[in-house]
Amino acid sequence: MIDFELSPQQKKIRDMVRMFTTNFIRPYSLRADKEKKPPQEFLDACAQFGLGAGAVPKDVGGEGEGVGEDKDPQGESQKNRISIIGSEEMAWGDPGVVLSLPGPGLGGPPVQFMGTDDQKKRFLGIFGPNDIKWGAYALTEPGAGSDAAAVRTTCRKDGDHWVLNGHKFFITNGAKAEWNVVFATVDPKLGRAGQRAFVVEKGTPGFSVLKIEEKMGLRASETADLVFEDCRVPAENLLGGDALYDGSKQGFRGAMKTFDATRPLVASMAVGIARAAFETCRDWVKENYALSQHTHRFHRIADALGVMKREIEIGRGLCWHAAWLLDLKRANSKESSMAKAYTGGMVQRVTAKAIEIMGPDGTLHENLVEKLYRDQKVYDIFEGTGQIQRVVISRRIFSQIT
Ligand SMILES: Cc1cc2nc3c(=O)[nH]c(=O)nc-3n(C[C@H](O)[C@H](O)[C@H](O)COP(=O)(O)OP(=O)(O)OC[C@H]3O[C@@H](n4cnc5c(N)ncnc54)[C@H](O)[C@@H]3O)c2cc1C
């Protein structure tokens, strides 16, 4: 059955998030970019409206995975669809600020997929609805990001601890996080089978922050360089315990499984950025072009706006499809990668076109599209670059896994 309508629950949550974003994110967007941190007004509002545990399951003390766990009218879970509807709205407000939303963040999915019940309680249970705390996901390191199997950070068992040595970079919220999920290897020669995932808590001896990166866009979001020097992590922080790995590739699979859930989320943020640029540009055109003047030029601009709108809606459709499959617990790697690959290019085209149409006004910081153009670039890099998404899609096509 095909239904292109939002369910009443989905509409209700979209409207609530839109209200929150309009009042507590968009008004501070340009300031957050300049100050390179999320606005305090936004963090206060997150605490006030209980957004601190948005992605934490109810059985470990949170508010539920995503911002709603109710069933859709067909009786299926709709939590992933609700999450992507929310992330489009939030990114519309500001894509840098939205990455500072409190909660376990990208670290949540591996704890949920791989953690024991006790670990889920210990690590996800700390995120109360009114708390301002973060979790983080540390996979990327020099030489391993696109090639996630090439992780060189090592881990060695020593009594009731594991000893980690290595360097992770470009880690969102990694410095301020209560904990990072860190991927390391028992032996680089073992490739995927050697990987283990640990929860490394703030203050663990041997864990330090080397620096916070200066970036072209998403400047309100913290991106950290982390160092592990003989970092002693308690054995009970190995996600899933020893039994999970047992000669298998569960560490690597855990890292990859995260992407099936997070790529549609990130892709829907790109849709939100594109929508913000489109609306800003459309309003500017309304104000600056009277229909009676510049007729030829106006028609060309109206046509360009039509193409932008069409591309945004195609991108949204791909995101919804990937999230719908996930809600139905069906394979969605290809669809997640298609959503991510398409929206990463689409948001670049739409933001560039908005600047082109607005001309010099588009380059002014105060007119927002200049900032959105800087912010969008990373959406074709993190959670797997556009090229890597195309590799995933082609592998699925040729392995006949549709
Ligand atoms: C702002 C920001 C936040 C981030 N947050 C996180 C985070 O929270 N946690 C985390 O772990 N990581 C994070 N990252 C890292 C990000 O996920 C990686 O940088 C990204 O996946 C690219 O990997 P790489 O660094 O290895 O780049 P490379 O792989 O070295 O990319 C360089 C170029 O080579 C291309 N390339 C590589 N392999 C292939 C191939 N097989 N075929 C064709 N082309 C290829 C890439 O597409 C790219 O164009 C973040 C990055 C940024 C910029």
> How many contiguous H segments (helices) and E segments (strands) does the chain have?
13, 7
pLDDT (0 to 100) of residue 250: 67
Q: Tell whether 236 and 277 lie within a shared domain.
A: no
Q: Tell whether 287 and 221 lie within a shared domain.
A: no
- Which one is predicted more confidently, 86 or 148? 86
Q: Ligand 1 test: best mutation among 98, 106, 134, 146, most atoms within 8 Å of CB?
A: 146
Q: Tell whether 202 and 282 lie within a shared domain.
A: no
- CA 146 – ligand 1 centroid, Å: 5
Q: What is the pLDDT of residues 28-48, one digit of tens each?
A: 999 999 999 999 999 999 999
Closest CA to 94 of 31, 184, 1: 31
pLDDT (0 to 100) of residue 51: 85
Domain count, the chain: 3
Q: Tell whether 224 and 258 lie within a shared domain.
A: no
Q: Tell whether 26 and 85 lie within a shared domain.
A: yes
Question: Residue 144 domain-assigned?
Answer: yes
Q: Ligand 1 test: best mutation among 379, 381, 392, most atoms within 8 Å of CB?
A: 381
Question: Residue 18 domain-assigned?
Answer: yes
pLDDT band at residue 54, thresholds of 50, 70 and 90? low
Residue 123, pLDDT above cutoff 80 = yes
* CATH number of the domain to which 185 belongs: 2.40.110.10
- CA 168 – ligand 1 centroid, Å: 12
Q: Residue 228: beta bridge partners?
A: 166, 207
Q: Tell whether 224 and 306 lie within a shared domain.
A: no
Domain ranges, residue 239: 135-248
Q: Tell whether 268 and 374 lie within a shared domain.
A: yes
- CA 79 – ligand 1 centroid, Å: 28
Percent of the chain clearing pLDDT 70 (strictly above)? 91
Q: Tell whether 240 and 261 lie within a shared domain.
A: no
* CATH number of the domain to which 76 belongs: 1.10.540.10
Closest CA to 200 of 175, 170, 172, 222: 175
Residue 74, pLDDT above cutoff 90 = no
Q: Tell whether 184 and 261 lie within a shared domain.
A: no
pLDDT (0 to 100) of residue 66: 46
Question: Residue 1 domain-assigned?
Answer: no
Q: Which ligand 1 atom sits nearest the alpha carbon of residue 143?
A: 26
* CATH number of the domain to which 379 belongs: 1.20.140.10
DSSP category for residue 384: S
Q: Tell whether 279 and 208 lie within a shared domain.
A: no
Backbone phi, psi, residue 88, to 5°:
-60, -45
Closest CA to 361 of 272, 280, 291: 280
pLDDT (0 to 100) of residue 232: 98
Q: Tell whether 88 and 172 lie within a shared domain.
A: no
Q: Provide the residue type at 274 as one letter.
A: A
Q: Tell whether 167 and 240 lie within a shared domain.
A: yes
- CA 381 – ligand 1 centroid, Å: 6
pLDDT (0 to 100) of residue 67: 46
Active site residues: 383
